[in-house]
Amino acid sequence: MSKSVKDAMTVNPCTIDADQTVAYAARMMRDEDVGLAPVVEGQRLVGTLTDRDIAVRVVAEGKDPQVVKVREVASTDLVTVDPQQDLDEALRLMADHQVRRLPVVENEGRVVGVLAQADIAEEAKPKKVGELVEEISKS
């Protein structure tokens, strides 16, 4: 029997309210040592914020992270997985969309985890992981 997303995901990730400032989000991400934070309104996923989003959309643009709201710079073109999905399906989604992390959602968009490339590496067969890294890295 193959493994599911819930077997590999990081559970109960820290989320950021869409109305928080980018400075707050950056501190939280630093403190939690994460490169992606799900952005929520209430408990519903509305976007994701990565360290790269902060660097490219705030810092490089000369915007003030103390003023800019997370909702202004978060990515809203979401690719998500369900906890019950097969890890192979999640791998394919990562490769197809060239992303290294996927929010895991259930029940109307409630965030229950994050699945990272590193999480899959710990659970998957080495050959499959090598293929994933190669696919994600294509530009």
Q: Quick: pLDDT tens for 10-66.
A: 999 999 999 999 999 999 999 999 999 999 999 899 999 999 999 999 999 999 999
CATH at 40: 3.10.580.10
pLDDT score at 120: 85
Binning pLDDT at 50, 70 and 90, where does residue 133 land? low
CB 81 within 8 A of CB 5: yes
**Structural domain that includes position 40:** 5-138
pLDDT score at 15: 96
Report the share of the chain in percent with pLDDT over 70.
88
Residue 34: CB partners within 8 Å, gap ≥ 6? 13, 14, 114
pLDDT: is 125 or 21 the higher one? 21
Q: What is the DSSP string of 99-113?
A: -SEEEEEETTTEEEE
Amino acid at 37: A
Total number of domains in the chain: 1
pLDDT of residue 1: 44
- State the pLDDT at residue 123: 74
Above 70 in pLDDT, residue 128? no
Cα 90 to Cα 114: distance, rounded to the nearest angstrom = 11
What pLDDT score does 61 carry? 97
How does the average pLDDT of the chain come out, rounded?
90
pLDDT at residue 90, as a whole number:
93
